Structure 1
């Protein structure tokens, strides 16, 4: 990783105070003062964890984060010169919160060991002070940035509340799927662990395809688009997730409008349909037979594309009030994306016009 990239990455540091302190790390590194860079980097990492725990307390009233901070305060008051609380901080943060995974924790422990060697007069066999090399220090800086400093203090149990509230407020500006994707990846997904994305996906599935309250009805479109973004980023993992929890994902609404959303989603993700329980499949099949939107989207429940083609023709010819709504013809062309369907679509288009 080049110095230029290292500096660019540092611009993404979540807290302003952390970013200011981190400039001293970069300055020491660029000037070849590698011991000083490592010592300061450890101090910055410790401060950043404290800030994140503090924000979890302030924003989410997180009792676990509060207990960690309260215990550290007690330790510091008992022995203000001891630095043992610093190691305990990352140990407790790893064990009791979702801020650090195993690899991130091990990277921080290695940083702490390098900091100990750099900060104390430990002489090697040649009576030389320990001096980490440039490559080691650069790796320590990169790992600390990517593992900790650029990430916001999301709590797995609270992130869905934060995300749902935020995308609802931003929905008027997120008027295309591409904008939704860019927004989510920039603000959230690029900073989350995979398991957190899957947790969000699981919650949104219920919001979009099961619940029928005022908030879910109002925000169903933006929730669906968020579900699509996360699903596309984790396609194979999502299939395993659903395979292991079929009852949850098969517990969908009976309401035709909500099932229209589900049929639309499954038309782009037919492998998911195959994993659902039979009761869910019966609901979906019934909706495909009885609502116009699902008739257009429900190719995946048919025995073949020819049958879907015939059903679309029947819809056009037998329903005098039928007209394709905006975007439906484009969707019909693209899903399913096969050469056979393109030929059949041309024949549909000639009848529709």
Structure 2
């Protein structure tokens, strides 16, 4: 089945689909002139059907206003076709049913339709004959740009989208972004055109990053779901939305100084490389200053550096300090499992896993208490033992041997034995462990 036939099956309105069958029949039998003439009529009908649905189903006043203007035009002159162009102009100007590209494609279709339907006396061929390629191009453009799309988003119906995601957010728990994306795609995204996508993305950006809790309960209560929808949109169409940010730098650089807004902004910038560099300098400086105020911000702020390797170096300096009392080291901040997962994914995506392993080993080795050592072993060491290189293992053994908060804790012998099981594989069973005089191991053969 051809792409045109596949799109034909997805035409949104039942009556449009019925009329389009005549276009398809004419095209497949080689009657390209008839196909073009009928296609233009189908486009006009489809716009009317969609305006009616917007008004009847969503009480869209803009749609009703356009329909009333067209009714008045037809009352003035029932035989004049001028209302058709007025309809197209009003739909383009006042709704999101047509974007610039589709509007231009309709204009081009109308020209060919006019030449195909009206004789030109001073031409050798009185009636224009579109080629197969002409007809196919017009048909594809109208199917893709208009006929298969839902009318759900005029300018007024935008509120319907925002209300829907707010009212239904409880059905999509935080960890179920895949289900949320499926819902949004089947109900909304597949009907988006470029203009509408930009409008929705800009609005969500404003609600998440600029509106503060004091601006209204709706911004406070819906910030999380709005952020999730924003990130889903960006992930789906990163190239186009990246370009929109680039072309509207001033708009996207307006962000609140409030911590909750900044936190969401840092999450976004940490997830999508390159966006930070698009912002204006005043926003960059604000973010840089805010990052300094929380270690949780610093952990995600790799976008401030040329590459993640530099980020890991700076993070080590910030979190790992020398100590002056019972332990040679101290941790400024105890990194959490989600933060470790974030750094692991960052290292995987930027091919710097070795730097990640160095960091988490150092984080464990800088533990300033028995409790910290227990926690960092569980979070940073045990899950990654099978991934550590020979160099990582030696670094870990040396670090434990030097820090009394690691080798003197009650779980030390048990945990050291777990390390040795993996170390024997990487270092060999003949490796000399005697230089790590503070490390105790259980009999591995009796602790399988």
Distance change >3 Å, CA 275–CA 287, structure 1 → 2: same
1:331 to 321, 342, 357: 342
Per the alignment, residue 309 of structure 1 pairs with: 316
Residue 309 of structure 2 corresponds to residue 298 of structure 1: no
8 Å contact from structure 1 (residues 250, 276) kept in 2:
no
Pair 1:32 & 2:38 matched: no
Match of 1:237 among 215, 240, 243: 243
Q: 1:345 aligns with which of 347, 353, 356?
A: 356
Residue correspondence of structure 1 range 130-209 to structure 2 within 5 A: 131-153=129-151, 155=153, 157-158=155-156, 160-168=158-166, 169=168, 172-173=171-172, 175-181=175-181, 183-185=183-185, 187-209=187-209
Counterparts in 2 of 1:177 and 1:197: CA distance versus 1, 3 Å: same
Alpha-carbon offset, residue 183 of structure 1: 4.9
Unpaired stretches in structure 1, ≥5 consecutive residues = none
Q: CA deviation at 1:144?
A: 1.4
The whole-number CA distance in structure 1 between the counterparts of 2:243 and 2:341 is: 29
Residues 120-129 or 206-215, more deviating:
120-129
3-state SS of 1:227 partner: helix
Equivalents in 2 of 1:39, 1:119: separation in Å?
7
* Aligned CA distance change for structure 1 residues 97 and 323 (closer, same or farther; 3 Å): closer
Q: Look up the match of 2:87.
A: 89
Report the equivalent of 1:263.
266
Map 1:28-67 to 2 at 5 A. 28-58=26-56, 59=58, 61-63=60-62, 65-67=63-65
Q: The residue matched to 1:335 in structure 2 has which SS?
A: helix
Q: What is the CA–CA distance in structure 1 between the aligned matches of 2:350 and 2:298, rounded to whole Å? A: 19
Residue 143 of structure 1, CA deviation: 1.6
| Conserved? CA contact 2:24–2:35, under 8 Å | yes
1:224 to 224, 227, 237: 227
3-state secondary structure, aligned to 2:2: helix
Number of residue equivalences: 343
In structure 2, relative to structure 1, the CA distance for the partners of 1:285 and 1:88 (3 Å cut) is closer
The answer for the alignment partner of 1:16 in structure 2 is 14
RMSD: 3.6
CA spacing shift, 1:198–1:130, aligned 2, 3 Å: closer
Q: Deviations over 1:222-281 (max 9, x none)?
A: 322322244324354144245333xx63431423x4432222212234644345566655
TM-score, length basis structure 2: 0.64
In 2: Cα distance, 1:344 partner to 1:126 partner = 75
Q: 1:168-190 CA deviation, whole Å, 9 max, x = no partner?
A: 42663474445555554554444
User: In the aligned structure 2, how far is the partner of 1:132 from the partner of 1:284?
Assistant: 57
Larger radius of gyration: 2
Structure 2 residue runs of 5 or longer lacking an equivalent are 322-328, 365-375, 378-448
Measure how far apart 1:313 and its partner are: 4.2
Q: Please tell me whether the aligned partners of residues 252 and 280 of structure 1 are also in contact (alpha carbons under 8 angstroms).
A: no
Distance 1:307 1:225 in 2: 29
Q: Name the CA shift for 1:274/1:27 in 2 (closer, same or farther; >3 Å).
A: closer
CA positional deviation for 1:46: 0.7
Q: Equivalent residue for 2:253?
A: 249
TM-score, structure 1 as length reference: 0.79
The secondary structure found in structure 2 opposite 1:234 is: helix
Can you list the C-alpha shifts for 1:103-138, whole angstroms capped at 9, x where unaligned? 423322333343344445778967876543333222
SS at match of 2:89: helix
Asked whether the equivalents of residues 333 and 342 of structure 1 are also in contact (C-alpha less than 8 Å), the reply is yes
- Contact 2:99–2:195 at 8 Å: present in 1 too? no
Moved more, 114-123 or 31-40: 114-123
Q: Which has the higher helix share?
A: 1
